[in-house]
Amino acid sequence: MEETLINTKQLIENDFLMKIKQIENQKASELLTSGWKYVKTATRTVIFTFGEMTFSRRCYKKDNEYCYPVDQALGLIPYARYSMEICCLIAKLATKMTYRAVAKTIEETKGIHITKDTVLKVRKMVDELYVAKNEFEILKDEEIVKRRKVDKLYIEGDGIMVKTPLKDEKNRTLLSHFVVHEGVEKKNNRNVLINKHEIICQKNKIARKLVLDYLYNTYEFDETSLIITNSDMGTGYTTYTFKELVKSFGCKHEHFYDEYHVNDAIRRLFKDVPELRNKAIEAIQNHSLKNLKVVFDTFESMISDENTLARFYDISKRIIPE
């Protein structure tokens, strides 16, 4: 078994080094033709998803700028020991399990030994790169970006809870999550969002700013445009929040309490009054705000304790617009 693993590793390494040689040969003529000069050959060790690889690659210079074409082709960050693919894998696993568990999983599945401190370091690096990417998106030259004109645009917002283990390995973090898209289309018998753009951030205020910047850089709106928003109506995702978000575009706006949370709220509110629950669901399915208000008014007159009344008002303001 051990001999088989060694042979497999050797085959992977041979294929990798062959690919490196192909890249070197392809890029060499391009760079030399463009005025670059060969300077030296340097060795580097990097951990990829398929294992740790040590390889040599050429360095070129033009004026005061240096270039390692192999590093660029592989998407490697200067002086980094880990490839972006393994970093993304580690960071993704770190949202679902403890750092120790991530290290153990990587070793068992990839044969790569890392420590929990390495997981933390990689996680921070990926977070910093994500922030830098968003800042770059914001600062893109508006004249270069050709904005799209759309009749309808959809924005969905909610909070997502992820496991972010620190010292006590028990912490969970609530992240702000927004999805911008242009509708839904069928692909291979599946519903797929058109031009989907996702924003995830630890702070809701920053996430909303990133949404706003993305809208400014990507779309062109006028008075005939319609932005449709929906959410669970929680803190940071209210009708007012979305109204403020899109008001500067001067277009039409409609906000909806998303279907899942509407049905869940109706079931919870009317759990002891099935007759009213069925009427409320029927009113929603028939898009009858008048009948829905009648159901809510009827239920309000039946409430006798303060806790139920408080819950009623909370759900009512989410479902029935003022």
> In sequence order, what DSSP letters do the residues of 143-154 get, joined into one string?
TTS-PEE-SEEE
Can you say how many angstroms the Cα of residue 263 is from the centroid of all Cα atoms in its chain? 26
Judgement on whether residues 116 and 12 belong to the same structural domain of the protein:
yes
- For residue 3, the model assigns a pLDDT of 52
Task: Decide if 223 is inside a domain.
Answer: yes
CA distance 114 to 133: 26
Position 107: which residue type?
Answer: E
Task: Decide if 141 is inside a domain.
Answer: no
Contact 237, 158 (CB under 8 A): yes
Task: Decide if 142 is inside a domain.
Answer: no
Res. 89: pLDDT tops 70: yes
Query: Is 0.95 surpassed by the pTM of this model?
Result: no
Phi, psi of 242 (to 5 degrees): -75, -35
Identify which of 106, 83, 102, 85 has the alpha carbon closest to the alpha carbon of residue 93. 102
Which of residues 261 and 135 earns the better pLDDT score? 261
- For residue 1, the model assigns a pLDDT of 45
Rounded to an integer, the average pLDDT of 28-46 is 90
Judgement on whether residues 176 and 300 belong to the same structural domain of the protein:
no
Task: Decide if 153 is inside a domain.
Answer: yes
Identify which of 197, 83, 183 has the alpha carbon closest to the alpha carbon of residue 137. 197
Task: Decide if 50 is inside a domain.
Answer: yes
Rounded to an integer, the average pLDDT of 21-27 is 88
Judgement on whether residues 235 and 269 belong to the same structural domain of the protein:
no
Q: How much of the chain exceeds pLDDT 90, in percent?
A: 16
CB atoms within 10 A of CB 252: 14
Rounded to an integer, the average pLDDT of 211-237 is 87
Task: Decide if 275 is inside a domain.
Answer: yes
CA distance 211 to 198: 9
Rounded to an integer, the average pLDDT of 65-74 is 91
Domain that holds residue 195: 148-257
- For residue 143, the model assigns a pLDDT of 46
Q: Which three-class secondary structure state does DSSP give residue 82?
A: strand
How many structural domains compose the chain? 3
Question: What does pLDDT average to over the chain?
Answer: 83
Judgement on whether residues 43 and 80 belong to the same structural domain of the protein:
yes
**pLDDT tens column, 270-306:** 888 889 888 888 887 776 778 888 888 898 888 888 8
Give me 250's structure tokens. 């001067």
Give every CB contact of residue 154 below 8 A, 6+ residues apart in sequence.
180, 181, 182, 183, 227, 228, 229, 230
Judgement on whether residues 244 and 273 belong to the same structural domain of the protein:
no
CA distance 322 to 317: 7
Res. 102: pLDDT tops 70: yes
- For residue 97, the model assigns a pLDDT of 84
Q: In which band, very low, low, confident or very high, does the pLDDT at 195 lie, cut at 50, 70 and 90?
A: very high
Judgement on whether residues 130 and 23 belong to the same structural domain of the protein:
yes
Q: In which band, very low, low, confident or very high, does the pLDDT at 167 lie, cut at 50, 70 and 90?
A: very low
Q: In which band, very low, low, confident or very high, does the pLDDT at 5 lie, cut at 50, 70 and 90?
A: very low
Judgement on whether residues 68 and 170 belong to the same structural domain of the protein:
no
Q: Which three-class secondary structure state does DSSP give residue 26?
A: helix
Do β-strands 51-62 and 37-48 pair in parallel, antiparallel, or remain unpaired? antiparallel
Judgement on whether residues 229 and 166 belong to the same structural domain of the protein:
yes
- For residue 136, the model assigns a pLDDT of 57
